[in-house]
Structure 1
Amino acid sequence: MASETDETTRVWLVERTYSDDEQNLIILTYATTDGRQYFRKERALTGDSDVRGTTAAVESESSNLGPVDDPELKEQYATEATRMAEKHDPDDAI
């Protein structure tokens, strides 16, 4: 349960990749619309019956966001996060 002092930030899905190191691991990357911060979420799939939706956006505690230092990656994340925010509601399944 979040305390009243916890701040959250909405971040938008910008990248979905599969781990090279582990089978059945999906890495979801969400970012702010300015591309300055990102949130990474790893999801292990346990079988064919493991169906969990991925939403267009999530709320992340601000302390869980990392900085995006690479200018090209920052621009890429900003472009994709903005596109997602314009085309989707936060709870849309992607």
Structure 2
Amino acid sequence: MVSESNEDEVRVWLVERGYDNRDLIILKYATPSGEHVFQKEVASQALDTVTAARDVAPTNLAAVDEPDLQERYATEVDRMREKHEPDDPV
């Protein structure tokens, strides 16, 4: 569940969900500009509810250097924001 907004945190939105060969689910949440991303890897058996958005510390964000990827993430954030409240399970 997404916490209430905190000045020290940045709201990011789910833009990508993937799997790897180690049975991990990889969740990527991006800032509205698409310029920063937060990545979380979770064992599939330990995965709780995935929400449309979450608030994270700025130090947990990584820069997205590829302009095409930034644009894709920004577009996906817009889509998620139009269709979901931050706490919505997705």
Structure 2-normalised TM-score?
A: 0.87
Q: Does 1:69 align with 2:65?
A: yes
Change in Cα spacing, 1:51 to 1:27, as seen in structure 2 (3 Å) is: closer
Structure 2: gaps of 5 or more residues: 1-6
Q: Does 1:26 align with 2:25?
A: yes
Q: Does 1:45 align with 2:5?
A: no
Structure 2 SS opposite 1:16: strand
C-alpha distance after superposition, 1:4-41 (max 9, x if no partner): xx710000000000013x1x210000001110100001
C-alpha distance after superposition, 1:43-79 (max 9, x if no partner): 1023xxx561100001010110011100000000000
Runs of 4+ in structure 1 off by over 3 angstroms are none
2:56 aligned residue: 60
Structure 2 SS opposite 1:85: helix
Structure 1-normalised TM-score?
A: 0.84
Larger radius of gyration between Structure 1 and Structure 2: 1
Identity of aligned residues (%): 50
| Inter-partner Cα distance in structure 2 for 1:63 and 1:39 | 10
- CA RMSD, aligned part only? 1.4
Structure 2 SS opposite 1:90: coil
Query: Matched residue pairs, number?
Result: 84
| Inter-partner Cα distance in structure 1 for 2:69 and 2:47 | 30
